[in-house]
Structure 1
Amino acid sequence: MTAGVGSSSLDLGVVGNAAAAALVDRNANIVWMCAPRMDGDPVFCSLLRGEQTGEGAWSVALEDAVSSQQTYLRNTAIIETILTDSDGNRLRITDFAPRFKSAGRIFRPQMIVRLVEPVEGSPRMRMGLQPLYDYGASIPQTTRGSSHIRYLLGEQVLRLTTNAPVEFIERGRPFLVDRAYAFILGPDERLAQGPVSLARDFLEQTRDYWSEWVRYLSVPIDYQEVVIRSAITLKLCSHEETGGIVAALTTSIPEYGSSGRTWDYRFCWLRDSYFTVKALNLLGATKTMEDYLSYVSNIAASSQDGYLQPLFGLGLERRVDEVIVGSLAGYRGFGPVRRGNAAYTQVQNDGYGSVILAITQCFFDERLPTMGGPALYERLELLGRQAVERWDQPDAGIWEFRTRGAIHTHSALMCWAACDRLAKIGARLGLPERAAFWRTHADHIHAGIVSSAWNEELKSFVSAFGGSDLDASLLMIAELGFLPADDKRFLSTLSACENHLRFGNHLYRYRTADDFGEPETAFTACTFWLIDALSRAGRYDDARVVFEDVLAHRNHLGLLSEGLHVESGELWGNFPQTYSMVGLIYAAMHLSRRWEDVL
């Protein structure tokens, strides 16, 4: 049997609906959920309570349990867990967040539904619902009704409605599960129908929604399950109301052990969001791009000169001040736990290219109900002007160094990409003068990067102008279109990165010491950049070997965190990491056979 609520692990699944999201462990305990948004107060926070047990989780305990089987229902965001006790009694817990079309819109309430049913014999269950607030520091007051419990969590109220005995839930007493019980946690509102009837109705409609959504994805013939699970997970990391996309659903899962690298990833990074939008566009799920366009349009509209900070809150908040949270011990006791991220104050010059690249498709994709036009192009040109001014200026770079700056090659590449795409969009819109203007700037930046970022001694591009260190972002040179994949300089850079950064089939983002010393884990997104580079270089067999190794390190539900400890093979870092899930999609699309070659 897997460990209980008090023992942290990234063997977790995600249930959500692009408004609410929760992490469920192997034993059907909800160990993480923030409210009222994904970047809000973690009302279930046992994932970060170290060895403390009980409070901060929504636990399900089958008496004398000996095994757990857990899976997603096919092509959905619905998790089914079957627990078995020592006498063979079995219990099924179905967890989901309602999402379906209703009255001409998507119904996606701040709600988690749990349907508990006996499968075999006479299972006895103990359910403990013990939310906290103020980042684990405070216990809520409760009030009871005949079929509900209200939890007063600071300024917000959650209501649990159930057909189970409220007394047993409130006091955590075991009871016989001889019928279906529904547990609906959401807004402080009365339900329109009985809990079990409503749960089953929502379950059926939610299952139908996801099955229909998946049906229209453009998946490859190979690795379909990998791609589908990744696409659904990326969708669950989007905040559909505003269009923002979190980098991960958690904060402060350390990159490894006591490294001190514990960051809050529950915000919208312009860089990460570009990769997410691109991956979903690749599959034909363009609605996330349309929502994100609205999000970044609001950001751009509030910046008169086009300056962009690296990240924002899901509600477009510009200040997300970083604070150490003393009330939570941290994942496995490894702190500190952080709320907010000081990286928002940094200068990171790759953001201009990230936004423009994320939106470029809307100028070319005829499927979209509203395509990009001159007004949007004019707003993007403001960002392009910043790229022209900043491509050769120091910044914190893609790795967000906190105590030093440099003219980072990746930031310059993204500034080049901003100008390159603006030139292409200008030509698409029939604006030859603007296209020529941006092509001139792109060519100038291109020449400057080749001159300043190439190290003749190493026969490789390097991380910073005039430097000698390497980092994995250099592998994106071909993907961005800066050089063709058969260019000798790209191939030589690929070889140098393998020699310096590759450990077995996994890639470190860099190996030189930073503010916290040398990195101790491979960065999974970088491993996917390696797969991409190998594929573009025609080394498909090598790429498949690396990909299969990564697939073998996903958790039992097919999800990945930020990084991997290459010696132990254990997942570390915030979870689920959109960068990593994006990489699964890119790699599968690159390495799959074509449909016409098989059918």
Structure 2
Amino acid sequence: MIGDCHCVALVSRAGSIDWCCMPRIDDDSLFGRLLDWNKGGFCAITPVDPGYTSTRRYLPGTMMLETCFRTSQGEVMLYDFFAMEDDALEHPRFDHVRIVDGITGEVELNVDICPRFDYGEIIPRMRSHDSGAYTAIGSNKGLIICCNVPLDVVEHRDLSTTMRVSKGQRIRLMLEFQLPELIEAAIAGGLPDAARIDRAFEHTQAWWTDWAGRIRAPFEVDEQTLRSAITLKSLTFERTGAIAAAATTSLPESIGGQRNWDYRFSWIRDSVFTVRVLHDLGYVREADRFHQFIERSSAGSADELQIMYGVDGKRRLTEIELDWLEGYRQSRPVRIGNGAAKQLQMDIFGELVEMAWQWHASGHPTEPDYWTFLVDVIDAVCERWQERDHGIWEVRAAPAHYVHSKVMCWAALNHGIQLAQDNSFEAPVEHWTRSRDLLRQAVETSGYDPERGVFVQTFDNRYLDAALLLMPRVGFIAYDDPRMLRTTDAICSELDRKGLLVRYNSPDNLPGTEGVFLPCTFWLVACLACQHQRERAWQYYERALGCANDVGLFSEEFDVDHRLMLGNFPQGLTHVSQITARLALAAMEGSC
């Protein structure tokens, strides 16, 4: 993945852009071969020699991808990045730059640019201009394409050429998003020359390395932790402060299955996890921006709060199936939007108040307007905690009394009380205290299996849920409480699949199966580390790290039998959880 805190693209090992959404991460795709090989569109720079090999890496501390192609005739480097200037966050350029450098010998490359707008439904009209630019226009989107070698227009829809790149030679290709009505004026304003594109390379590298260089951690930051932090930054939408859960839609949780969802939105829960981790690493600004985003998007009212928003704050995320797309490896349906947006998931109340508590505990003031919003949230918990909800996993079945949701409601009340007392804020503390105590009693009776001595997924059943591993995080129970130790052991016993965890062992009313859920394994690592189970914690951590791809990116899930990534990619929650686990391991080692 490459990104610029506004838009994203996925680049394959073969040098093909198979997924690209501009100017926003949740926009309609411009290249979408990821979801339909024939209809989706792509932009490929690939050696002609079928026997080529490729290796990839990110330039250190950046979101700039370097792909090395080797053939029997020579070697070239392909660089992919979104250009970023000093003011890139406030004034994004939406320029995807591709640079090919000849390293040794001479390599023949095929260049094919086949944009397909609106998830492959629109084939834009391609034309060349006297200025040397090419444009692709369709519906409300346009691309300006510039290259320092001539390209052939194919049937007014594609661009193509074959070129030879020798040692010391540099080829520059730039894809600039532009609104169709502004394209002529943009071209008239001048095309980027070689010097400008080369400066963009240098400025982008400097921007990312400066951001990465500000990381602060209580251990020597390893490559994976740094990569996770940079990935999380790339999933932010700078204009609003929102944080997308993932860069893609409809990558399946099982190949050929129907568990295919759109994750390009900002979930409150996932985003709170992210800002907490970024704050712990020294990135305070991102946390403050997300506070503002949530207050705006919810209209400052608990009644208007929903579990996720568009990255621009949009509330209506209607779920639609795109029946013209075959799906990733024939995994239908392809969906855009997300019907879970209207579910009741009461754990988000706890996450919001927990985030405010962490913000306060780290020395930041709680503004009066935000406190008014929090009081509304906490009052809503008092009124609604006895309701059933759909839980952290957004189960598309009848609502239930999920223990994790109840614990997070308890956390909302507990931290709300602490915030009110620490700041001498006006609040119905006695009422909140009564509700908090009733919640604890309900969880410790109906949410606990006395026969096995463990907490369970929902009231009065025996199923287990990896989300129970999060209970000590908010202070509901101590990590070393015997009940928590037994619950952790039971989860390891019943949810472990070849050394990694699935989410739960209950039926969920959805067809098919899914892989192991990588964030859960990292939650287990953090739990084991806090229980000082050193050997087990490191073993699970190393196994989970082995599920990253060649450049350190994680998906949501993983097929342990076939060693395949599953679910949307890269998944922010997995990267957040990896950092959380690593921080817990560092704390454990420091206390030994």
TM-score tier (shorter): over 0.9
Instruction: State how 1:5-404 maps to structure 2 within 5 Å.
Output: 14-50=1-37, 52=38, 56-65=41-50, 66-87=52-73, 89-102=74-87, 106-145=90-129, 146-167=131-152, 171-178=159-166, 179-186=169-176, 187=178, 188=183, 189-190=186-187, 194-222=192-220, 224-301=222-299, 303=301, 305-366=302-363, 371-404=365-398
How many Å apart are 1:168 and its aligned residue? 7.3
Write the deviation string for residues 331-355 of structure 1: whole angstroms up to 9, x where unpaired: 1121111111111121111121122
Alignment partner of 1:464 out of 458, 464, 479: 458
- SS of the residue corresponding to residue 306 of structure 1 reads helix
2:531 is aligned, of 522, 527, 537, to 537
Per-residue CA shift, 1:111-152, capped at 9, x if unaligned? 211111211112222211111112112200123223211111
Deviation of the 1:21 alpha carbon: 0.9
For residues 474-553 of structure 1, what are the structure 2 equivalents within 5 Å?
Answer: 474-517=468-511, 519-553=513-547
Could you say if the C-alpha distance between residues 587 and 436 of structure 1 is closer, same or farther in structure 2, counting changes exceeding 3 Å? same
Preserved contact between residue 35 and residue 42 of structure 1 (Cα < 8 Å):
yes
Preserved contact between residue 413 and residue 482 of structure 1 (Cα < 8 Å): yes
Question: What residue in structure 1 maps to residue 435 of structure 2?
Answer: 441
Contact 1:219 1:227 (8 Å CA) reproduced? no
State the SS of the aligned residue for 2:143.
strand
Distance 1:596 1:526 in 2: 24
Q: What letter is aligned with 1:314?
A: V
Q: Distance in 2 between matches of 1:129 and 1:193?
A: 19
- Runs of 4+ residues over 6 Å off in structure 1: 593-598
Partner of residue 8, structure 1: none
* Residues 124/472 of structure 1: CA separation in 2 closer, same or farther (3 Å cut): same
Separation in structure 2 between the aligned mates of residue 364 and residue 223 of structure 1, nearest angstrom: 24
Asked whether the 8 Å contact 1:182–1:195 carries over to 2, the reply is no
Unmatched tracts of structure 2, length 5 or more: none
Alpha-carbon offset, residue 60 of structure 1? 0.7
- Range 187-196 or range 129-138, more displaced: 187-196
- Work out the CA distance in 2 between the residues paired with 1:594 and 1:444: 34
Judge conservation of contact 1:251–1:339 (CA < 8 Å) in 2: yes
Contact 1:73 1:79 in 2 (8 A): yes
CA distance in 2, matches of 1:520, 1:594: 32
Q: Is the 8 A contact 1:39 1:313 kept in 2?
A: yes
Q: Deviations over 1:81-125 (max 9, x none)?
A: 1111222x112111111224239x654322211111211112222
Match of 2:553, as an amino acid? L
- CA positional deviation for 1:220: 4.3
> Structure 2 CA distance, aligned partners of 1:28 and 1:595?
41
Q: Determine the C-alpha separation between the residues in 1 that align with 2:203 and 2:351.
A: 36
Measure how far apart 1:158 and its partner are: 1.6
1:434, distance to aligned residue in structure 2 (A):
5.4
Structure 1 residue 363 displacement after superposition = 2.6
Asked whether the 8 Å contact 2:56–2:65 carries over to 1, the reply is yes
Q: CA deviation at 1:264?
A: 0.7
C-alpha separation in 2, matches of 1:559 and 1:438:
42
The structure-2 alpha-carbon separation of the partners of 1:465 and 1:307, relative to structure 1 and needing over 3 Å to count, comes to farther
CA distance in 2, matches of 1:397, 1:321: 20
Q: 1:428 to 1:112 in 2, by over 3 A?
A: farther
Per-residue deviation, residues 278-327 of structure 1 (Å, max 9, x unmatched): 11112111221111111101123264x53422211112111111111112
Alpha carbon RMSD of aligned pairs, Å? Answer: 2.2
* 8 Å Cα contact 1:363-1:428 kept in structure 2: no
Q: Which moved more, 1:467-476 or 1:353-362?
A: 353-362
Question: Compared with structure 1, are the counterparts of its residues 436 and 228 closer, same or farther at alpha carbon in structure 2 (3 Å cutoff)?
Answer: farther
> Is this contact kept in 2: 1:510–1:519, CA < 8 A?
no
Deviation at 1:223, TM superposition (A): 5.5
Distance 1:241 1:592, change over 3 A: same
Q: TM-score, normalised by structure 1?
A: 0.92
Distance change in 2, residues 1:422/1:496 (3 Å): same
Q: Give 1:592 deviation, angstroms.
A: 3.0
- C-alpha deviations, 1:3-45, integer Å up to 9, x for none? xxxxxxxxxxx11110111111112211101123111101110
Change (3 A) 1:593 1:452: closer
- AA in 1 matched with 2:137: L
Q: Quote the sequence identity (%).
A: 31
Determine the C-alpha separation between the residues in 1 that align with 2:515 and 2:589. Answer: 36
The structural deviation recorded for 1:595 is: 10
**2:258, 2:512 within 8 Å by CA — same for their partners in 1?**
no
Deviation at 1:582, TM superposition (A): 0.7
Q: Which segment drifts farther, 30-39 or 432-441?
A: 432-441
- The 3-state SS of whatever aligns with 1:94 is strand
Letter in 2 for 1:181: I
CA distance in 1, matches of 2:34, 2:160: 20
SS at 1:380's partner residue?
helix
Relative to the length of structure 2, the TM-score reads 0.93
Give the direction of change, closer, same or farther, for the CA distance of 1:59–1:30 in structure 2 (3 Å limit): same
Partner of 1:3: none
CA contact (8 A) 1:147 1:166 kept: no
Gaps (5+ residues) in structure 1? Answer: 1-13
Instruction: Give yes or no for contact 2:117–2:141 (8 Å, CA) kept in 1.
Output: no
More divergent stretch after superposition (63-72 vs 39-48) = 63-72
d(CA) in 2 for partners of 1:309, 1:570 = 33
- Give the deviation of 1:586 after TM superposition: 1.0
Structure 2: which amino acid aligns with 1:217? Answer: I
Question: Is contact 1:41-1:135 (8 Å) kept?
Answer: yes
SS of residue matched to 1:500: helix
